[in-house]
Structure 1
Amino acid sequence: MDKNLEQVYSLYTNGHTICTDSRMVTKGAIFFALKGDTFDGNKFAPDALASGAELVICDDPKFSSQSNTILVANVLEFLQNFASYHREKLNIPVIGLTGSNGKTTTKELINRVLASQYKTFATKGNLNNHIGVPLSILSIDNQVQIAIIEMGANHIGEIAELCSIAQPTHGLITNIGKAHLEGFGSFEGVKQAKSELYRYLSGQKGELFINSNNEILNGLASQCEFSHIHSYGSDNYIVSNSSTSDAYLCFDLEISGKKFKVNTQLVGQYNVENILAAICVGHRFGIEPTQAIKAIESYSPANNRSQILQTAKNNVVLDAYNANPTSMEQAIQNFNAMPSENPKVAILGDMLELGSYAAKEHQRIAQLALEVVDKVFFVGENFKQSCRGGLWFASHQELSEYLKANPLNRKTILLKGSRGIKLDEIVKQL
């Protein structure tokens, strides 16, 4: 074992916290001087030590001369290896979760169900990348009984890399859609990348949770071997009377001849399969459907994900955390089906990271929205060529100024776009 790794792990297991932001350093912390596109953590090593850091891990010799510093070849790789080493010490189930849409909601629902009976850990916020996953693993202490680790990716090979760090024993892909096409190259690239989770689990003889109604997922899973497959498709879970009559999703569910009523605080029919996934995972770990459904019904989304907001003037569906062609289409269709006594307005922001597919997909989404929504506002350069019939704004700031002069009143409004478009900034105008 690497002596540096051994030294750092000894400090870590004695209660010293991990930190990657010098502004958040507390006394006794271990500071990892990570580099990014616009910053170099090495430059903040002195600040971290001055703030009370016990140890600094850096990869620039200029900052390694001070005491309490360790020079490594690459701080990020050291962090990832450090997390992998910690993971190997954890004798617990780890559920790896990825997918084009619904990852975070499904993670939260699974966590809510499992937490009704176990001490759990689930990825916080969007810490689902090459830095977030190691930090998540290092947040798991010896009290945790089950962990749920969300894994995101925008290029081929990233899920495989994250699996080598998180080492999941169980896995779930929510779905595969048209997300991050620029990085993956094509829809086939998305399939190849997301299915890296299946291939990892197959190699480890892990367990799989799968929506057996999803032909793409079934096709990919059929190429792998698992110790057990847990299905939450219509062969096991029969859904009926699904509706959003009061804006929130509700439906009847039959499992093994037993019938249940599910009343959620979620928006959108597309969340049915996310809910079934959580019930299925709960069942695998001994949680009865009644208990699982109660936990799911207590969950209310946050972080700009399908939140229903009642402002002083309007009803707002805030879904501006992220967007791709698949999730955008689902959001618009759900918005169209949502009951409302007031006219409906869709405020749609650009879908980013689509590369050469951007023009075609924005045209398709714009046409759909204009066909089914009373009024549509488009925000961002990608929608500029396809906004005929609606109103177009270059940025959320331009739209904000327009809304100050032309306020919306007594409307039902959908806000949907990629996080980089910052449509959540518009809410204060609604």
Structure 2
Amino acid sequence: MYNAESINKILKGELLQQTGFPEIEHLLLDSRKMSFPETSLFIPLVSARRNAHQYMEELYRKGVSNFVVSEQIALENFPKANIILVKDTLQALHALVAYHRQQFHIPVIGITGSNGKTIIKEWLYQLLEKDYNIVRSPKSYNSQIGVPLSVWQMKPEHQLAIFEAGISQPGEMVNLEKIIRPNIGIFTNIGEAHNEGFLNIRQKINEKLVLFAKSELLIYCKDYLVLNECVLTFHAQFGKKDNQEGHQLLSWSRKTDADLRITTVEKGDTHTSIEALYKQAHTLSIRIPFVDEGSIENAIHCWAIMLHLGMEATVIQQRMELLSNIAMRLELKQGINNCSVINDSYSLDLGSLTIALDFLQQQQQHPTRTVILSDILQSGKGEASLYEEVASLLQKKGVQKLIAIGKNISREKKCFQQIPDLKTQFFNTTDEFIQQFNSAEFQHETILVKGARVFEFERIGKLLEQKAHQTILEINLSAIAHNVQQYQALLKPGTRLMAMVKAFSYGSGSFEIANLLQFHGVDYLAVAYADEGVELRRAGITMPIMVMNPEPSTFDAILHWNLEPEIYSMQILLQFEEEVSAAGKTQFPIHIKLDTGMHRLGFEKKHIPELAKILTENTLLKVQSIFSHLAASEDPAKDSLTQQQGRLFFDMSHELQKALGYAVIRHISNSAAIARHPDLQLDMVRLGIGMYGIDSSKEMKDKLRNVSTLKTTIAQLKHLEAGDTVGYGATWEAKGPATIATVRIGYADGYPRRLANGKGKMLIHGKLAPVVGVVAMDMLMLDVTHIPEAMEGDEVIVFGQDLSVHLLSTWADTIPYEILTGISQRVKRVYFQE
């Protein structure tokens, strides 16, 4: 048991104030994810962009009474709190969890590498859960913050631990090794991910190998030649010494001699059979329900672990054949009856349930939050205490409706029925729920579907999700958050961030993106028209929203929904002032647009004296910000124009602010200017297309992640002879035998007609297939003659990670903005969080 006094001793800190010593069970690093205030320890982390000490008073008011801090605190504001002072809160977090890890003497498997870490971890859980009570990293918690949160989960009842570790720059793995301290190591493979932080591939491998400095065993594949060389050098340093057992290796290979020598790999349509020679003595085989190379490699790593643990060959064979797909993400989809459905139906434990509930709580678009939950299996806790904790979680996260499926959770129904205002239903099996399913019972709700895989909750997901066209746009919410953070890291202290969500968030969605931005602490949103802002307000978005194109006919809606209009002319100013007066409001926030060279909208320099006079003589309006637009901030050849605009804006805004007599926010920087013109960041910047992974500079491009993937499927294959034509107008003619794939996308979905006859291309099985014939309204054709493996129903990538929207826009002789905003609303959006 931990309390403030024992933790202070561990950290060798200074106990600034003690008012009691309640038991501490939970580490709280993110103020937005608080579940159990009474038993939580808040450790405010400090970065270049954000100092989490600022959230202490808010958390104290919500019931948190234990804090570890790295700066002096006004103790009188926390009269009933225990406060420990340390030099560095991140180091304190690491030290505390490293101490916690030392209290356990069970096997701990540590996994690192470039790809496959999370899948191997989850597959090992599937393969070993019948034999061990296992604690593992939630989702892909493998960072300097994620690893401590994972290892802190270790409890006396656990018999095996599996943790993954990832790094992005040298020096990080030393910290994670002390926290995980694995007995058994797996190095999955080595690739180009996060390469920018390292001198070369060898440095990256050697940095990752630090995780296994005190391991008893390291499992790896010899077929990665540089990895093999680095591992052998590492083993020579940390292996057997002075007649004492030290670091041992367990290698596998498909090419050369190894402890596990793969002799045969035979792929079928849905399964792969693998044979191997183990320790040059035993011929073994497994069969897995996957055929891709990544899954084969991941399965062999798992095989090696099971052999090391001494499991019988027949048991390994049986379990390998039952491996199932791992849900690497939380998906948010449109549901029936104006519902939103979060599908996380493949695994369930307390850690992943907490993550899913955090995502549910982030959603504000519907008045009701519903959870469909199965039994939690292999928790290591007594059922009563387990479901009491689950009930408490649901209450803390504002869940109003629970549908519980399973005999165990149903036996503990009293835990849930005693929660005020929580509506509950209980079913013994998934079949029982489906038999009684009534779609009319689900209206305007956000529904989390969360179940252990044996309950087959994917069947429930299909009932609740709106039937979708096979052409979909996938939006990676984690990538948006990452991109926002990349720009935030460039901002000067105190500079705010306005996110542009106009034009349906550049085609990506409305409230789905706004919910994410609100959760991540963006300061302002901007929309093009008032109705966009009204939709966000109706979806529960409470943060400030600027309307960039206010129309007099929408002034009443702006006032009613507390939106903030851009004022760009005297006419609009006077009309809005009149509307505010009629509504009986005062000090209503507005944003003044200045024209510094774009020559589109805005007040010119000659208008400033009159504008200042009008604004200072009335109390109806309050200027919230003064801003302007840069015309060519992305173009180095136009930097002189950008600097000229900056100087003019500074002069005009200074003159206006001086007349107003109070401080206002000034902003002129767009996405490109944030990085290219840091001197123009001022009080706030406006982030638009960069949030979606698109930036003109190579430096920023390398830091950003792809957000949007537009995909469709092959509807039919046609086999043509020389002379056969394709499509309207017969504009394309086969020169010889050809195979043509008709795919489910056309100009009504937003695919440009100008990409006909070879100008546009799409990806099938990783290969580019050119468009042939003209683009029709709902369909188009691709030449797949060179892709013999193409089949009807196969996935087709229109743009995404491996075929960028920037390249597509170049083929179409346009810009990414037009492609993204042109995607039709009939194309269903699927949102996911990794």
- TM normalised by structure 2 equals 0.39
Aligned to 2:508: none
**Further displaced range: 34-43 or 309-318:** 309-318
Within a 5 Å distance, the mapping from 1:365-380 to structure 2 comes to 369-370=767-768, 376-379=797-800
**Match for 1:223 among 224, 233, 245?**
233
Q: Does structure 1 residue 272 correspond to structure 2 residue 296?
A: yes
Q: Does structure 1 residue 262 correspond to structure 2 residue 310?
A: no
Q: Does structure 1 residue 6 correspond to structure 2 residue 9?
A: yes
**Further displaced range: 76-85 or 372-381:** 372-381
- Distance 1:68-1:161 versus aligned 2 partners, 3 A rule: closer
Cα shift at 1:84: 0.8
Within a 5 Å distance, the mapping from 1:172-183 to structure 2 comes to 172-183=186-197
Aligned to 1:251: 273
Aligned to 1:233: 253
Cα shift at 1:381: 12
Distance across 2 between alignment mates of 1:49 and 1:99? 40
Distance across 2 between alignment mates of 1:188 and 1:92? 32
Within a 5 Å distance, the mapping from 1:344-359 to structure 2 comes to none
Q: Does structure 1 residue 301 correspond to structure 2 residue 317?
A: no
Q: What's the Cα RMSD here?
A: 4.5
**Further displaced range: 13-22 or 66-75:** 13-22
Cα shift at 1:290: 3.3
- Distance 1:141-1:279 versus aligned 2 partners, 3 A rule: same
Cα shift at 1:208: 0.9
The one-letter code sitting in structure 1 at the alignment partner of 2:224 is N
- TM normalised by structure 1 equals 0.71
The share of aligned pairs that are identical, in percent, is 21
Distance across 2 between alignment mates of 1:290 and 1:317? 43
Cα shift at 1:133: 0.9
- Distance 1:48-1:175 versus aligned 2 partners, 3 A rule: same
Within a 5 Å distance, the mapping from 1:27-426 to structure 2 comes to 27-36=38-47, 38-65=49-76, 66=78, 67-197=81-211, 200-201=212-213, 204=214, 206-225=216-235, 226=239, 227-234=247-254, 235=258, 236-238=260-262, 240-243=264-267, 245-246=269-270, 249-254=271-276, 256=278, 257-264=282-289, 266=290, 268-296=292-320, 297-304=322-329, 312-314=468-470, 343=741, 369-370=767-768, 376-379=797-800, 383=804, 386-387=807-808, 394=816, 398-399=819-820, 401-404=822-825, 425=831
- Distance 1:14-1:281 versus aligned 2 partners, 3 A rule: farther
Distance across 1 between alignment mates of 2:265 and 2:23? 54
- Distance 1:151-1:391 versus aligned 2 partners, 3 A rule: farther
Say if 1:57 and 1:72, in contact at 8 Å, map to a contact too: yes
Say if 1:83 and 1:165, in contact at 8 Å, map to a contact too: yes
Distance across 1 between alignment mates of 2:61 and 2:229? 55
**Further displaced range: 366-375 or 47-56:** 366-375
Say if 2:107 and 2:182, in contact at 8 Å, map to a contact too: yes
Cα shift at 1:124: 0.7
> What are structure 1's unaligned runs of at least 5 residues?
326-334, 348-364, 409-422
Say if 1:84 and 1:164, in contact at 8 Å, map to a contact too: yes
Distance across 2 between alignment mates of 1:63 and 1:282? 54
Distance across 1 between alignment mates of 2:768 and 2:68? 53
1:336-374 CA-to-partner distances (Å, cap 9, x unmatched) read: xx9996649899xxxxxxxxxxxxxxxxx9996426778
Distance across 1 between alignment mates of 2:180 and 2:821? 42
Say if 2:94 and 2:175, in contact at 8 Å, map to a contact too: no
Cα shift at 1:20: 1.7
Say if 1:105 and 1:301, in contact at 8 Å, map to a contact too: yes
Aligned to 2:387: none
Aligned to 1:359: none
Say if 1:100 and 1:178, in contact at 8 Å, map to a contact too: yes
Say if 1:380 and 1:393, in contact at 8 Å, map to a contact too: no
1:154-177 CA-to-partner distances (Å, cap 9, x unmatched) read: 112222321122112221110011
Say if 1:96 and 1:149, in contact at 8 Å, map to a contact too: yes
Say if 1:149 and 1:166, in contact at 8 Å, map to a contact too: yes
- For CA contacts below 8 A with separation 6 or more, give which structure has more relative contact order: 1
Aligned to 1:362: none
Distance across 2 between alignment mates of 1:369 and 1:153? 31
Size of the aligned set, in residue pairs, is 374
The one-letter code sitting in structure 2 at the alignment partner of 1:76 is L
Distance across 2 between alignment mates of 1:239 and 1:315? 41
**Further displaced range: 36-45 or 249-258:** 249-258
The one-letter code sitting in structure 2 at the alignment partner of 1:263 is I
Distance across 2 between alignment mates of 1:112 and 1:243? 23
Distance across 2 between alignment mates of 1:216 and 1:95? 23
> What are structure 2's unaligned runs of at least 5 residues?
13-19, 240-246, 331-345, 347-457, 480-701, 703-710, 718-740, 746-762, 770-785, 791-795
Cα shift at 1:281: 0.7
**Match for 2:31 among 22, 30, 36?**
22
Say if 1:243 and 1:269, in contact at 8 Å, map to a contact too: no
Instruction: Look up the SS of the partner of 2:327 in the other structure.
Output: coil
Distance across 1 between alignment mates of 2:210 and 2:151? 19
Say if 2:113 and 2:208, in contact at 8 Å, map to a contact too: yes
Distance across 2 between alignment mates of 1:32 and 1:205? 30
Say if 2:303 and 2:316, in contact at 8 Å, map to a contact too: yes
Cα shift at 1:252: 3.6
The one-letter code sitting in structure 2 at the alignment partner of 1:6 is K
Instruction: Look up the SS of the partner of 2:275 in the other structure.
Output: strand
Instruction: Look up the SS of the partner of 2:39 in the other structure.
Output: coil
1:375-405 CA-to-partner distances (Å, cap 9, x unmatched) read: 653348994675566899737x954742546
- Distance 1:346-1:48 versus aligned 2 partners, 3 A rule: farther
Say if 2:715 and 2:743, in contact at 8 Å, map to a contact too: no
Cα shift at 1:212: 2.9
Distance across 2 between alignment mates of 1:275 and 1:121? 20
- Distance 1:44-1:244 versus aligned 2 partners, 3 A rule: farther
Say if 1:119 and 1:146, in contact at 8 Å, map to a contact too: yes
The one-letter code sitting in structure 2 at the alignment partner of 1:16 is E
